[in-house]
Structure 1
Amino acid sequence: MRGAVLKSRIPLALFGVLLLAGGLRFYGLGIQSLWVDELASVWFAGPGSVAEVVERTVGDVHPPGYHLVLHLSMTVFGDAEWAVRLPSAVAGWLAVYVVFLLGRELYSTREGLAGALLTAVFFSPVYYAQEARSYSLLLLFSALTALLWWRVFRGFTEGGRPGGWTVLGYVAAATICCYLHYFGLFIVAFQGAAMFWAVGVFRLRSVFGVIVVYVPIGLAYLPWAFVMPGQARDREPGATAPGLYADFLFNSSPAMTLIAALLFFGLFAVSLPALGAVRSVEGFGRFMPGLLLVGWLTVPFGVAWIISEYATPILSARNMIVASPAAYLLLARAIVVLAPNARLQTALAVGVAGLSLYQVVFTDELYSRVHKQQVREAVAFVTDRRENDPLVVHCGVGREANYYYRAQGSDRSEFSQVGACEAERMAAVLSAGAEHGEIILVYAHLRPSEELLRAMSEEYRPVTHRDLYDAGAFLYRNPAGQGTGT
């Protein structure tokens, strides 16, 4: 009777988690301005055919998968701020459910529910679900490929061969993951290496079947493999500080990081003696879920860190969203293993989730404080003065800003414009500004150099400065100009 009651509560609990996740992801999608990278996404995914979207993406540093998704979404829903963020919100919400399925298959429903709850409320999955970039879709497909990977692996090791639909689903999901982001390709490569190793340990004769699984993925990605080298950027080596990875996963919160560290240590302390006592391949198999999650959490980060430190910088904290399901499922597993009964497990999971939710809503003020570059407000400073025919000098935000010029009833082509972030561009500014009574220096993402600002103040009379979040606008008066500025 007790078991039946508990089973009846599982759908209700999952519904509650998904409802919470949806509220956190869909609320306020249009409150904040699109920042420069989001505006770049909109430009790459803009009007035209699918072929034109791919052609534009060749000039980017990412594969075209996300831009194609955004292009389709914009065709249906338009390009309002909420609409261009909608694919990310939907993907972030679905990722919570996929993490539940993955936790349930690796361990049990308890780990699935706890992992889904943590994914629902930690800052990074929520934040990137409200951003028109590829990261939320990358989270979804990282979790989905892991789920299908596990089913393929079990098919090879338990039945000799996985089902055709399972293999087809994994091939499709892995191919999409590769085309979403280069770290999607990275995670699929990790999964491939893990599959060869794991199947080789448990059922060596099935290794050829693994090759059959991964050949279609390689062939599907081959056309873009020829484009990849042209997207590389020559940058000095240097890796992100490892501590930023923990900050990304655990809300940049010392308290949450400490809680996670204690849970991980407790899980390790309990599991290591049992792992050391294993004397057979079958016994070793009981630890495969944990080994998969630990490898998923650590190996991609370690490899990316080494590449960044000694070759070219590819690692940024946000790219490691590919491994966040592993972190949250390991926390869920620690909660279930360390708490002695279901009631305490629930209390601990809800307590950790509640603390994270408090941090997201009140400490980080995700919905009440500006978190994204205020390009919209900077452009409004220009369009409010369009009747004065100003020269617009832009720094860090050029063609992308036309999204907001159009949204505010204007167009970049209506203004004389010149790009300048450094003093070396001052001659171009003087030439373009000779016939204008006002000059507006608009910036976002990048800030004009002090030398340029001094040069502008020497040539023109400073009037006002609108200081915004990682953006702003300087208004200057040109005494020699022939414009209508007043």
Structure 2
Amino acid sequence: MKRNFLSGVWRGQAGALLLIAVALGATLRFFRLGSRELSIDESLSWAESSGHNIKAVLRVQHQLDSGKFPIYEIAQHGWMRVFGESEAAMRSLSALIGSLSIVLVFILGVELMLAATSRRADESDEGRIYIVAAVCALIFAVALPSVEIARQARMYSMMQAWILVQIIFLLRARRLGGLANYAGLTIFSAIAVATNFTAALVIPAEVLWLIYLRLVYAPSDETTRRSTEWMMGVALAASIVLLLPFFAGLRYGVEGVARGDYDWIKPPGRWEPIATFESALGTLTFPLLAIFSILGGLRLWRSSRDQAMLLILWIVVPPIILFAGSYLITPMLITRYLISSFVPLFILTAIGIESVQSRQLRSVALIAIVSLCVLRASADLRAGDNRWRDACEIALSNSCARQCVGASSEVYLVSYYMPAANRRTVKIVRFPFDEAEHKAPRVVILSPTVSPEEAAAIRREYPIIVSKFKNITVVSRPAGCLQKAPIS
């Protein structure tokens, strides 16, 4: 039987599940996309992408986030030129990529299950390949980690998409060989890591998988397959060669540890790798996913240990690396650095659900997981406040003519919420304060992230509280032109 011709029943069920996944996932990614203000990290992406041309984008990106190639920033620059720079417009690029990633997860699931299925599989087994892939795509579509990064104007959604494509080519190279698949593995490995260096966490898992394959198969077994493994290793090594021009930027990241750029990340606890998955997926959702993923892992291990080992390594190696790095270098174990490791968990969960004999129990399990994921993700869809926009408006209205507005930190977030004509006048206020500085701003927006010592120094120079917006304070020096605003 040819794999391409499934019965209408299997094709209809898998197609319906995939359509539901795309529709539901796109809704969660695009609904109220502009209802919350930009985060601090999103404001940096805006600053990097808002240059008047590509050359300006490259220059600013190198200053703010050196050490990687600005693939996302260049794409965001072109996107903003077409659709504007509102919160919704900026985030819609990531939302679109995140919606397309649902289809990529389906393709990835098909590739993995094709590799795990016997060549003499009957039509029922062939059909279940596509059902499992569609179930995996549905879980991915509604899970909070994938929804959350797709609703941010950051590079992580794009990085995840590149990783998915890279894994697809890895599986195709293993199953089919061919120059095109090896080239795809090389190119997309390099693109993913160049987009963000945390994508490199997947490559050690793949290398360990290739080593496992070499140890499992005896020299007399499947000579062609062993040569394929060598070619896959060469393809991964070639991606490192393509990345050599960017390795110089790693020094900037290393220096960032000394500068304290990562001090906001808390040191991980003993069970932090597991706790990270639990906190991201939800207290109720995680146990269900863990149970069915273990069931799916056991089922896949019995039928195809090669594919089971790949998924297991993909899940456990990245958090182990980050956990070890957190103690050896600096704390670095956070959810968005592990974003790709959720995908193999979803695949194993889908296999576990499909391995349940009762159709009714399979339906109940899938509905329960999807419902809990939707409830978890929809909690973040509530509209936020306008604290930064209101603070900037009050600060600008209380500054004298031709006076700039100061910012204690988050200068790009303040600049974004200023009128376009005033963005260049925003000035960062650094302390110890220089009393001889005659161009000091009369009004300063005091960020909640500023240290208590610096906040106290600023308050000594700017004793008047003009207004408060949640944890953002607008302060001013005494002046005759000051118009005191009510504290909200």
TM-score, normalization: structure 1? Answer: 0.82
| 1:53 counterpart residue number | 57
For 2:139 and 2:321, the matched residues in 1 are separated by: 26
For 1:369 and 1:62, the matched residues in 2 are separated by: 35
Deviation for aligned residue 1:125? 0.9
| 2:169 counterpart residue number | 148
Contact kept in structure 1, 2:398 and 2:443, CA below 8 Å: no
Structure 2 counterpart of 1:253, one-letter code: G
Deviation for aligned residue 1:327? 1.5
Structure 2: runs of 5 or more not aligned: 1-5, 114-128, 218-224
Query: Which of 403, 411, 424 does residue 416 from structure 2 map onto?
Result: 403
Query: Which of 87, 97, 116 does residue 93 from structure 2 map onto?
Result: 87
How do 1:394-473 and structure 2 match up within 5 A? 394-407=407-420, 410-413=422-425, 417-420=427-430, 424-425=431-432, 427-428=433-434, 439-443=443-447, 446-449=449-452, 451-454=453-456, 461-468=463-470, 471-473=471-473
Structure 2 counterpart of 1:382, one-letter code: A
TM-score, normalization: structure 2? Answer: 0.81
For 1:271 and 1:149, the matched residues in 2 are separated by: 18
For 1:165 and 1:31, the matched residues in 2 are separated by: 43
3-state SS, counterpart of residue 85 of structure 2: coil
Deviation for aligned residue 1:456? 5.3
Contact kept in structure 1, 2:300 and 2:308, CA below 8 Å: no
Deviation for aligned residue 1:201? 4.0
Structure 2 counterpart of 1:347, one-letter code: V
Structure 1 counterpart of 2:178, one-letter code: G
3-state SS, counterpart of residue 104 of structure 2: helix
- Aligned in 2, Cα 1:105/1:69: closer, same or farther, shift over 3 Å? same
How do 1:130-209 and structure 2 match up within 5 A? 130-155=151-176, 162-198=177-213, 201-202=216-217, 203-209=225-231
Deviation for aligned residue 1:181? 0.7
> Does residue 392 of the first structure (1) align with residue 405 of the second (2)?
yes
Query: Which of 370, 382, 395 does residue 353 from structure 1 map onto?
Result: 370
> Does residue 380 of the first structure (1) align with residue 393 of the second (2)?
yes
| 2:76 counterpart residue number | 70
Structure 2 counterpart of 1:320, one-letter code: L
Query: Which of 251, 270, 286 does residue 257 from structure 1 map onto?
Result: 286
3-state SS, counterpart of residue 58 of structure 1: helix
Worse-matched range after superposition: 177-186 or 64-73: 64-73
Contact kept in structure 2, 1:36 and 1:375, CA below 8 Å: no
3-state SS, counterpart of residue 47 of structure 1: coil
| 2:117 counterpart residue number | none
How do 1:212-291 and structure 2 match up within 5 A? 212-232=234-254, 233-235=256-258, 239-241=267-269, 242-243=271-272, 246-248=275-277, 251=280, 253-267=282-296, 274=302, 286-291=304-309
For 2:164 and 2:275, the matched residues in 1 are separated by: 19
For 1:456 and 1:442, the matched residues in 2 are separated by: 8
Worse-matched range after superposition: 191-200 or 23-32: 191-200
3-state SS, counterpart of residue 254 of structure 1: coil
- Aligned in 2, Cα 1:88/1:434: closer, same or farther, shift over 3 Å? closer
Number of equivalenced pairs: 448
3-state SS, counterpart of residue 234 of structure 1: helix
| 2:31 counterpart residue number | 27
- Aligned in 2, Cα 1:411/1:312: closer, same or farther, shift over 3 Å? closer
Structure 2 counterpart of 1:133, one-letter code: R
Structure 1 counterpart of 2:140, one-letter code: T
Contact kept in structure 1, 2:67 and 2:248, CA below 8 Å: no
For 2:207 and 2:273, the matched residues in 1 are separated by: 27
- Aligned in 2, Cα 1:268/1:244: closer, same or farther, shift over 3 Å? closer
Q: Deviations over 1:43-83 (max 9, x none)?
A: 12232543443343333155122222222322333322222
3-state SS, counterpart of residue 447 of structure 2: strand
Quote the RMSD (CA, aligned, Å).
Answer: 3.1
Structure 1 counterpart of 2:384, one-letter code: V
Contact kept in structure 2, 1:379 and 1:404, CA below 8 Å: yes
> Does residue 96 of the first structure (1) align with residue 102 of the second (2)?
yes
Query: Which of 359, 377, 381 does residue 367 from structure 1 map onto?
Result: 381
| 2:338 counterpart residue number | 320
3-state SS, counterpart of residue 417 of structure 2: helix
Contact kept in structure 1, 2:407 and 2:428, CA below 8 Å: yes
How do 1:103-142 and structure 2 match up within 5 A? 103-107=109-113, 108-142=129-163
- Aligned in 2, Cα 1:215/1:455: closer, same or farther, shift over 3 Å? closer
Structure 2 counterpart of 1:466, one-letter code: K
| 2:220 counterpart residue number | none
| 1:475 counterpart residue number | 475
For 2:86 and 2:156, the matched residues in 1 are separated by: 20
3-state SS, counterpart of residue 34 of structure 1: coil
Contact kept in structure 2, 1:296 and 1:323, CA below 8 Å: yes
For 1:212 and 1:40, the matched residues in 2 are separated by: 36
| 1:334 counterpart residue number | 352
Deviation for aligned residue 1:343? 3.9
Contact kept in structure 2, 1:99 and 1:143, CA below 8 Å: yes
For 1:459 and 1:79, the matched residues in 2 are separated by: 35
3-state SS, counterpart of residue 405 of structure 1: coil
- Aligned in 2, Cα 1:243/1:252: closer, same or farther, shift over 3 Å? farther
Contact kept in structure 2, 1:121 and 1:357, CA below 8 Å: yes
For 1:71 and 1:443, the matched residues in 2 are separated by: 27
Structure 1: runs of 5 or more not aligned: 156-161, 275-282
- Aligned in 2, Cα 1:73/1:457: closer, same or farther, shift over 3 Å? closer
- Aligned in 2, Cα 1:320/1:467: closer, same or farther, shift over 3 Å? same
Structure 2 counterpart of 1:106, one-letter code: L
Contact kept in structure 2, 1:37 and 1:133, CA below 8 Å: yes
Deviation for aligned residue 1:18? 0.4
- Aligned in 2, Cα 1:434/1:187: closer, same or farther, shift over 3 Å? closer
Deviation for aligned residue 1:462? 3.4
